Amino acid sequence: MKHSKFFVLGIVVMLSFVFVGCDTDPGDAGAGTAFWMPEYAIGDTGPGGGKIFYIDQEGFTNTYDGSTCHYLEVAPSAGEPCTWITQGYDSVTANNIMADIRDETGWDDENVIGTGRKNTQIILSHDPTAPAAYACVTLNTGDKNDWFLPSEYELSKLLLCRTAIDITDEPTYWSSSVYTFYEAEYMDFAGSVGNYKVGDVDDLHQVRAVRAF
């Protein structure tokens, strides 16, 4: 009888480690989530031909359409350095983008996981050719057309798992999260997780499109 208890305990412990990783969030393993098992692992090739870099057992809300997602996938390659806003647009446009993003998502909530696609939509509603966002939404790889410019927290998960998905250089990537009237947040991959930076929207940084599913 004791051997049976130890065997069951061992199985439970092993299963708990399935969800522990550089970017896996076990969430709240309560009713309805305890038996969800991932189809992909970190570093696997996703449906869009990119790499899986975040798994959430409980699921997170994609604020773009209200759907529940469990994965974030990063595009296979980075875009060229570009500005966050179209050259020639003035600070009024940047201010309107910031105001709309924060009206939709809250003062700080535009940073969180699940908000990147909604942020991207808002940016393009004011500036249809905004280079960073436009480069992401026009990406069509793996027959997927739901790529977007990641939020700050989504980008920080990518930095956390950079080794697992073979990002070996040290780029700076734009996020879709805003900061002030004429500034947006970006992440320096030479730095540490959570060490986001702020740049003028006409500065040059690379982009790395992601998708949620």
Task: Write the pLDDT tens digit of every residue in 95-124.
Answer: 777 777 666 655 455 578 999 999 999 899
**What's the pLDDT score for residue 6?**
38
Domain that residue 61 falls in = 2-212
- Identify the segments of the chain with pLDDT beneath 70: 1-34, 89-92, 94, 101-110, 191-195
**What's the pLDDT score for residue 23?**
61
**What's the pLDDT score for residue 28?**
47
What interhelical angle do 91-105 and 116-126 show, nearest 10?
A: 140
pLDDT 10s digits, 138-152: 998 888 999 999 999
The answer to whether 51 and 74 have CB atoms below 8 angstroms apart is: yes
Closest CA to 153 of 112, 124, 183: 112
**What's the pLDDT score for residue 73?**
98
Tally the domains of the chain. Answer: 1
Cβ-in-10-Å burial (0-12, 13-18, 19+) of 109 comes to middle
- In degrees and rounded to multiples of 5, residue 79 shows phi and psi of -85, 165
pTM listed for this prediction: 0.80
Query: Measured at the alpha carbon of residue 37, what is the angle toward residues 32 and 43, in degrees to the nearest 5?
Result: 140
